[in-house]
Structure 1
Amino acid sequence: MHAKAGDWLIVEGRSVGGVVRHGLIEEVHGKDGMPPYLVHWTDTGHRALTFPGPDAHVVTSGELRAQEEIAADYFSSRPYRRDRHVAESAGN
């Protein structure tokens, strides 16, 4: 894994439906872009020196923005029927 300051560390959930964490890499402490990274986590606001595990990957800010735009386009084009979902989960 290689990164530079300004890249994003994405940690995928370890289970189905698990939380995906995003952290801005502020500093790279390893040689040639290798970990550990000083990461500013978006979900907690905390900064931590992080040694990413196998469930993590690095993306540039441009790649992250493109992924978010694709997801936003996908979900905005598919109307979510909350009333149907609520009825189905209530067993109706």
Structure 2
Amino acid sequence: GSAKAAVTAYLSGLGQRLRPAGVNVLVIKPGFVDTPMTAAFKKGALWATPDKVAAGILRAIGKRRAVAYLPGFWWAIMMIIKNIPEFVFRRIKL
């Protein structure tokens, strides 16, 4: 998680720096993707196919988004998680 946060912060700064030159930096934040690497995992409603994630990436590029949670419902899940107070977050296991 920390490494992903560092990459996100770096890319956010890079995007700010390059925007005046017309360059868009897109941070892709995928949820669970059903790939050969995750073949042994039990799949559920939160999983997506690589094709769905790829389609979401293309949409985000087309809209010049800065961040894309894929599938899109992960945005709502992450907004809830981000807004949990720190003292509560430390007591729960995610």
TM-score of the superposition, structure 2-length normalised? Answer: 0.26
Structure number, greater radius of gyration: 1
The structure with the greater share of residues assigned to strand is: 1
The structure with the greater share of residues assigned to helix is: 2
TM-score of the superposition, structure 1-length normalised? Answer: 0.27
